[in-house]
Structure 1
Amino acid sequence: MSIRKTGMALWLAMAAAGCGAPNAYIEPPPPEVTVSNPIKRTVTEYLEFSGMTQPMETVEIRARVKGFLKEKHFVEGAEVKKGQLLLVIDEETFQIQLDAARTRLREAQAALQQATVSKSREVARARVNLSESEVRLARQEEQRVRGLFQKQIATESDMDQASSTRKSRDADLESAKANLEQALATYETTILTCEAQVESAKIAVQNAQLDLSYCRMSAPIDGRISHINVDIGNLVGDGQSSVLATIVKMNPIYAYATISESDVLRTPALTKFGSESTDSEAEPVPVELGLASQNGFPAQGQINYTDPGLDAGTGTLRVRGVFQNDDRTLLPGMFVRMRIPVVERVDALLVPERALGTDQSGQYLLVVAADGTVEYRPVRTGVSVDGLRVVEGQISLSDQLIVDGLLRARPGAKVSPKTEPAPATVSLTTGAGRR
């Protein structure tokens, strides 16, 4: 019974207290937000795209003669120098062929020398001279006998004999002249034939020397060599050109990429590359490159080729950059990131990425006015640079942008701003990516 009385007393006391004056409303303090000012810098806008590396030169080492592979003078996968001996095919057969060709050359030269010193022309010419003397003598004898015959000292038989002798000597002279012409013609033909045989023998020697030289295969370029495709002791060059190894030149190295038509139009330097107005003194098109595992674009290079036109099927332009690769970081076949400077924006305003908000109207910034009131400022965003974003709109360097606490701030309400240190200086060479 005492417990019931005690509870009733407590209830009456609480009721009496509730009937007193009401509690006064105390407005909560403005939410605390972190603010920062925009910064102004010169920013280069870049066109970013992906590409793939390819070696500057690729050379296949082939067997150009048929033979047994005898020697190997390189380490597979290692660097080789231009002119370095790589492989040797058994040379004995080709050396024998060269010796035989040289012997045939000496035989042809000897035949030419023998034909040159031939006396057949002189013998034929002497025979002509002798026949001419005999003809003159026969004619004189005929004239003498005719004179005696007219004086009736010589008989008709003597006259016939002298005339017959003269005619015989004329015939001998014609025959001697014909023999001389034949000797001259034979001499010239023999000389030409021997000279041709000498030239043919020289060509055979050159071919044999060439075949022998093909037995020793050297590196035509500097580069890295692949594994050997045929083991030592095997027959190579049998019916086709056997690829024994491959050398790729990796320094400098190429990087190929395709760029869309819209991006090409944004990059005037690409459309002018290779035109008549571009000469050797024209400013090259710079390009930067980075791997997926790297931050930024550490490799610097130049665009040294663009296709003459866009691919009609894909609407893209193929470009090629060349980069130094002294440390061999870039390997052929790698996917890489590349970028080309498009335009330089002087005195661009940059704000932290986290200060930007997005609604149905687009992106905006919340600015703290002098009286602590939050203002809504719509902006147009540009490229991103190291965690900052280029913006355009009703923004000035003196504006205090809310960078932390966006969810606690609303336009028209007051906030308690706390200043954040200014962002680090942006390098003039830091590039901006695609929007």
Structure 2
Amino acid sequence: MNIKRSTMNRSLLLSSLCLALFWASAEGAVSAQQGPRAVHVTQAHRSNIDRTAKLVGTVLPWQETTLRARVTGYVHRLEAFEGDRIPAGSRLLSLALPGLQAAEDTSTARLAEAQAQVAARTGDIQSAHADVIDAQAARSVATARVGVAQAATLLAETEASLALVVYERQVGLYEAKAATLEEVEAAGGLFERAQAELIAAQADATMVQAQLEASAARITAAEARVEAARAQITAAEAAVLSARAAVRFASAQLAFGELRAPYDETLITARLVDVGALARAEVTDLLMLMDVSRVRLQIHIPERLSRSVTEGTRVQISLDGEGQEQFQATVSRVAGALALKSRTMRAEVDLDNADGTWMPGSYIGVRLSTETIRDALLLPGSAIHTDRKQNFVLVVKSDGSVARVHVKLGIDDGQIVQIESGLTGEEDVIMYLVAGLREGDTVRAVQGERP
């Protein structure tokens, strides 16, 4: 049994060997007919290349806020919901504020009352001014009458003195038997009449003086009323100002009952209350808002790259994270310091988002250009091969033979690789690894891309 199995194995091995020799001879015959195999070659070229770093950024809204009420009230109406994009100034939510409405009504009533008081006191001043004018006119008349009464009194005194002298003379003449009794009685009558006229003139002067003093008292009283009315007007005007301020304050507080969109394009991201809910001032969260007309792409730069990233550093952004859809931008700002916990520096890229391309909160792949190497020698990455941790390329020599050349690599951006040493740029480098191709084989170099 073992002898038969051994014989069978030898037969199979012999058959396989014969088949291999047949295919080898056939392949050799074909190769001899076709000549050296064609390989696609290229030459290293010189250009600028950026040293890049692949990182992940987070899209943040340009601005965001959690909306709270400035006054306490009940949610009366909701006019915006999640996903709505609201222009600036549009109403988002209304609060019912019964207490503040009553305060505004009270303040309005107080203002009307104070304004009525000002009008009434203004009328009092006008009336008091009229009394002052009347009293001044009466004083003028009384002053003139006092002058007349004083003149009449002086005249009556003169006439009474003269009548007394005449009477006394007639009495002396009568005693000397030089005048009659009738003449004495007549002179006595004249004297008594002059005396009566003097008394009347003095009484009239006294009355006119009293009128003058009364006019002066009226003027003083009217002027006092004017001053009192002015003081009352000042108080009433102060009450008007106070009431008007109270009305303005109440109106301002009522205006806080309407919450409006603060951004040019306000995105509602969360509604946190329902109609009828109590909203406490500065405590209850109502809505979460974002300004997404622009966004900020926030990148955390590792410490080793922090000195290479500045304002204006070029950034390549992959929208889908896989490099299929790319955008070019520049760094807008850097923090200038490392965060103590993460030892990273925050950088931001400003992006226009008018078309809604960028969704806040999403992760975005970014490639930062941290250094530019000028006049670098570059090759396609497909031409670079690795064997036992050594990088090499296959070049076609002038005699058509293949040679392996070890190279030192620099920057590799995934498509183009920098050659720091090993090539001059004049070699024909095979662009792709060809199966079965070995160093020393003879090939035919074809310039350009493989079809």
TM-score, normalising length: structure 2: 0.67
Displacement of 1:171 in angstroms is 4.4
Report what 1:51 is aligned to: 57
Deviates more, 1:395-404 or 1:51-60: 395-404
Q: Which amino acid aligns with 1:349?
A: L
Residue 45 of structure 2, aligned match among 40, 45, 49? 40
Aligned-residue RMSD, C-alpha? 4.2
Please list, as runs of the form range in 1=range in 2, the aligned pairs for 1:28-427 lying within 5 A after superposition: 36-40=41-45, 42-45=47-50, 47-48=52-53, 49-90=55-96, 94-118=100-124, 119-146=127-154, 148-149=156-157, 152=161, 168=210, 171-221=213-263, 222-237=265-280, 240-259=282-301, 263=305, 266=308, 270=310, 287-291=315-319, 293-295=321-323, 298-307=326-335, 309-311=336-338, 317-325=345-353, 328=356, 330-341=358-369, 343=372, 345=374, 348-352=377-381, 355-357=384-386, 364-371=392-399, 372=401, 374=403, 376-386=405-415, 388-401=416-429, 403-404=432-433, 414-417=440-443, 422-423=448-449
Residues 303/312 of structure 1: CA separation in 2 closer, same or farther (3 Å cut): closer
Displacement of 1:296 in angstroms is 5.1
Answer yes or no: is the 8 Å Cα contact 1:300–1:323 preserved in 2: no
The SS at the match of 2:270 is coil
Alignment partners' CA distance in 1, 2:449 and 2:224: 107
Q: Which amino acid aligns with 1:36?
A: V
Alignment partners' CA distance in 1, 2:84 and 2:154: 106
Alignment partners' CA distance in 1, 2:224 and 2:419: 104
Answer yes or no: is the 8 Å Cα contact 1:35–1:400 preserved in 2: no
Residues 179/406 of structure 1: CA separation in 2 closer, same or farther (3 Å cut): farther
Alignment partners' CA distance in 2, 1:106 and 1:257: 61
Answer yes or no: is the 8 Å Cα contact 1:55–1:250 preserved in 2: yes
Alignment partners' CA distance in 2, 1:187 and 1:56: 61
Q: Which amino acid aligns with 1:392?
A: E
Displacement of 1:123 in angstroms is 1.4
Residues 150/252 of structure 1: CA separation in 2 closer, same or farther (3 Å cut): same
Alignment partners' CA distance in 1, 2:417 and 2:362: 30
Alignment partners' CA distance in 2, 1:297 and 1:319: 22
Displacement of 1:246 in angstroms is 1.0
Displacement of 1:210 in angstroms is 2.8
Q: Which amino acid aligns with 2:239?
A: Q
Residues 383/233 of structure 1: CA separation in 2 closer, same or farther (3 Å cut): same
Please list, as runs of the form range in 1=range in 2, the aligned pairs for 1:3-42 lying within 5 A after superposition: 36-40=41-45, 42=47
Displacement of 1:359 in angstroms is 7.5
Q: Which runs of 5+ in 2 are unaligned?
A: 1-30, 32-36, 162-193
Residues 170/420 of structure 1: CA separation in 2 closer, same or farther (3 Å cut): farther
Q: Which amino acid aligns with 2:75?
A: L
Displacement of 1:423 in angstroms is 4.9
Answer yes or no: is the 8 Å Cα contact 1:297–1:338 preserved in 2: no
Alignment partners' CA distance in 2, 1:292 and 1:420: 37
The SS at the match of 1:232 is coil
Give the length in aligned residue pairs: 375
Rg (Cα) greater in structure:
2
Alignment partners' CA distance in 2, 1:233 and 1:249: 28
Q: Which amino acid aligns with 1:134?
A: A
TM-score, normalising length: structure 1: 0.69
Residues 42/374 of structure 1: CA separation in 2 closer, same or farther (3 Å cut): closer
Displacement of 1:330 in angstroms is 3.2
Report what 2:164 is aligned to: none
Deviates more, 1:340-349 or 1:62-71: 340-349
Answer yes or no: is the 8 Å Cα contact 1:50–1:337 preserved in 2: yes
Alignment partners' CA distance in 1, 2:212 and 2:368: 99
Alignment partners' CA distance in 2, 1:177 and 1:186: 14
Q: Which amino acid aligns with 2:361?
A: G
Displacement of 1:245 in angstroms is 0.8
Q: Which has the higher helix share?
A: 2
Alignment partners' CA distance in 2, 1:136 and 1:43: 115
Alignment partners' CA distance in 1, 2:230 and 2:152: 43
Alignment partners' CA distance in 2, 1:251 and 1:294: 25
The SS at the match of 1:186 is helix
Alignment partners' CA distance in 2, 1:296 and 1:150: 133
Answer yes or no: is the 8 Å Cα contact 2:67–2:289 preserved in 1: yes
Deviations 1:220-276, CA, capped at 9 Å, x for gaps: 332321332223222212x54422111112232111224467746546xx35x6xxx
Deviations 1:300-342, CA, capped at 9 Å, x for gaps: 44544344x4348588654321223356453323332334555
